[in-house]
Amino acid sequence: MISQYIDAGVSMYSKVPAIMLLLLITSLLGMLNIALGKDLDAVIAEYVERVQQLEAKHVDTHSVVEKINEAVMAYEQGDYARASSILGEADSLLMELEKSSQQAYIFYTISKALSVAVLALTPLLVYIILPRAYVYLWFKTRRKWIVREY
Question: pLDDT by residue for the chain (150 residues), tens digit each?
Answer: 555 545 555 455 556 666 666 655 665 555 445 445 557 778 888 888 988 888 888 888 899 889 989 988 888 888 878 888 888 888 889 989 888 888 888 998 999 999 999 999 999 999 999 999 999 999 888 888 887 887
Evaluate if pTM is beyond 0.75. no
Is residue 132 assigned to a domain? no
Number of independent structural domains in the chain: 1
Q: Are 63 and 93 in contact (CB under 8 A)?
A: yes
Three state DSSP letters for 93-123: HHHHHHHHHHHHHHHHHHHHHHHHHHHHHHH
Is residue 113 assigned to a domain? no
Query: Residue 43 belongs to what domain range?
Result: 2-100
- Measured distance CA(91)–CA(56) in Å, rounded: 18
